[in-house]
Each structure stands twice: as structure tokens, then as C-alpha cells.
Structure 1
Amino acid sequence: MADPVAAVAALDEPNRRKLYDFVVRQTAPISKDEAAQAVALPRTTAAFHLDKLVEMGLLAVVHERRSGRTGPGAGRPAKLYLRSGEQIEVSLPDRRYEAASHLLTDALLEAETTGKPAREILNRRAYEWGEDLAGQADGDVVRALENLGFEPQQENTAILLGNCPFHSLAQKHTQLVCGMNLCLVSGILDGIEARSHTASLDPSPERCCVRLDQAPSSKSPSVSR
């Protein structure tokens, strides 16, 4: 998958946008000749833009023999284009509402099945997700937080989080979402076995409610959960 911003920017080119809109409206994969004819472009130009859309993750390619013939003499399969199965989202500042919806839905369903408190399940699942995400950060706390869109900022020995990926949810359901955030960050720290900082709640209207403070050097730090 290409960079989401670059993928969306690729559609700013008018001919490329026309080709994309044509392909995704069809009920079956489309050849470059069909696409070129539909938007009145030379075949080579259409092919260039179609392949660029594939490169950006916006379209996918399949190879099929439309004649239905098989075996020797059937000819080469045609290269056909269709909408990619990728989902592309761009948000500035970075927001992760789909991730939050999955966490909340899974917690609710598990609560209905087990009878356990939904908030307790949500916090556990957020923590476990953080542990899973930690594997992508190569032991780097700041990188792990950047990958989730928290926009970590160094302030003396502390790390402040300049952005909440669940901002609008946190505005309406502060205690619920801030608790989830704390467990998520705690899971990241434990997942990469970070010993430099501990996480705690420190709400502020200008940043995420979680902050990371340098762990006391006199003892092995434990992450607040």
C-alpha cells in the first residue's frame, strides 16, 4: 500500500481521476482499451495512468481470458482493472476512529457474552492492542507513539502527546476514552519492554490526556495501568 496522502494526491490529476471514477463504477473488471475509450484518452496515456493508480493502491489488476477459451491457441489473458480492496483514509491531524470503533464493538460483544463490565474489557483489549503494535516499533517508544498518531513531544524528561487519535470521542466521553488511551500506551510500553518512562493520566485541553514521565532510576519502573 502506498502512502495514503500520496494515493489521494494521485487523484488530483484530472485524467487519472476520470479513469478511476470510470473503473470503480463498473460491475466487472475493465481493460485499458475500454477505459481509454470511455474517457477519450489515447491508449498509452490511459495505460500509464491506470498503472499509476495500481501502484498507489487505488486499483487492482486481474488477468482473465474474456473469450472463455483455454489451452493452446486461446491467447494471452487480458490485463483488467478493478477497484482495489484497500481502504485509504487521510486525516490531519491523525485520527483513528475506525480502530476505536472496533475496540468498542468487540468490548461490547464480549461483555454481552461473558457478563463482565464492558469498560474493563475495553481497557484490556486496548492494552493488548498496544502490546501488538509494539512489535512494529523496534523498541523505540517515540516511534511507536508516532505510528499511532500521538505526535510525541519531548518536554525536559517527560514525553507529552500532542495529538489524540480519538479526539472527538474523547471530547464527548472523556473518562472512557482517556482510560482506553492510558491502557493502549501502557501496552505499547510493556510490549517493547520500555524501562525509561511510565504512563499516567494528565488531562489537558491542548493535548492527549496521557503523558510519559521518566521512570525513577532507583527501581525498575512499572507502567501505570
Structure 2
Amino acid sequence: MSDSWPRRRLLAILRGASEPLDAQELARVTGQHVTTVRFHLDVLTRESLVRQFQQPPRGRGRPRIGYTAVQRSVGYQELAQVLADQLGSDPRRRSDAAVAAGRAWGAKMESVDQPVESLDDAKDLTVTLASELGFAPEREHDTETDEQVMIRLTACPLRELARTHSEVVCGVHLGLMREVLDRNGGRDQVSVRLHPFVEPELCVARLEWLEARAPEAVADVDDTGGEPRLAPSTSRVAPQLRTGEPQLRNADPYLGKQSTNQR
């Protein structure tokens, strides 16, 4: 079928149709002879790409044969499991590999021209990116400070995969956010963390402006991986979600501890 433009066109039309179409309707749309359309439909039916339905006749006569495209079910859950297995058995290594993949994805995206010169800029850029990805983000105005903000991600497009493979799915999204922020001037200025499933249908992105850190928050080295990290300040308490919202107790330990300047 792949080498037949007429059949590809018929299949595309059927996939976009809200109801079954018969050969005569398809002939009018494509400009082909109805006999030619029926030939191509027979091939598509044998290849299990379309399905036939009996429809009532228009006026008197025999019932019509309608056609609709077969909706393929893609095994995304199985694919995620295979990918996770290929990334090794160590969740931390899988997370690091996923973050690197997300950065590579971000590097290939069309540049977003939103310079990051402040925490508000970083927040606006992250909300724009999350909206484009389908996360339906919401700002957490009640928890915003001069040092950090939280963005509620209410509609992860890969929610079901993330429930079982958060270190992979969320790692890719985290790496993408970091790369886009870095490319727009946020490198060494803003840290982004993801907290998956603080509620069953809610994840949270936490942005922190690094220039606002206390003086004692100096760089050290993580002896597990040799990557530079920022030691947490002991004099500052991180703001929590607003009253009545869940705390970030379910934060993925592999997604919530790295700053954007890591690669």
C-alpha cells in the first residue's frame, strides 16, 4: 500500500471522516472513477487498513457499503518498558539518560525567543513550553516568592506511561525544559525540578532563581557522579504548595535534585 498514492489518499480521507463513507462519496471527493475507488478499497480491506460496514440505501435499492479506517492501537506501554529496560536497571542511570535525551530534543526544537533575565521570564517561558506540549499548566500564584515559583502541570500527555516509568518520561520532559531555559539565557541562573504525581492527576514544576540563594549555598561535588551541585542552604525553608494542596512528598528523588547547568 505504501507505494500507492491513491490508496494513501483514500486512507487519509477515511481517517479524518466522522462516519463511514461509501465508494461513490469517495469518488466525488478524490475525482477518481468509482470503479477505481472500489479497487483500492478492496486492497485496503485485504490489508486490514479499512473496515466495511453495511449502510442503509439512499431511497430504493440495495444497502450501501461504507468504509472506515481501522484505528491502530499502539503499544506505548510496552514500548516504554522496552526503552526503560534498554537504559539499564539502575533508576538513576535511566533518569540521567532520559534527561540527556530531553536536552537533545530541546536542542533540535525551533528556537523560542523569550530571553530569561529574571524568575518571571523563566516562569513565562516554562508555561509557554508546557502549554505547547499539552500539559495545561497553571501558575501557583499563592506560593510564588522572589526565589522560586511552582507551575501546576494538570494534563501530562504521557500520564499513563509516567505512572510506571516516571524516571524515563519525566526525565525527558525535565531535560527538555532545562535545555530550552538554558538556550534562552537561563544557564546558571535558574534551576528547574519536576515533582511527578503530587496528586493522581497533577505534577509540579518548581523553578528556583539561583542568584537569590543565600551566600552559604556554595558549589560542591556529588561524590556519586562527580557532577557539580549546589549545596542547599540551611538558613532557608523552601515554600510549600498552598494550604489545602498536597506537599511534594512524592517527588522523584532522581528528578528533583539536579540544576539546569548539569549535562
What is the TM-score with the length of structure 1 in the denominator?
0.46
TM-score, reference length from structure 2: 0.40
Larger Rg over CA atoms? 2
> Hey, which of these two has a bigger chunk of helix by percent?
1
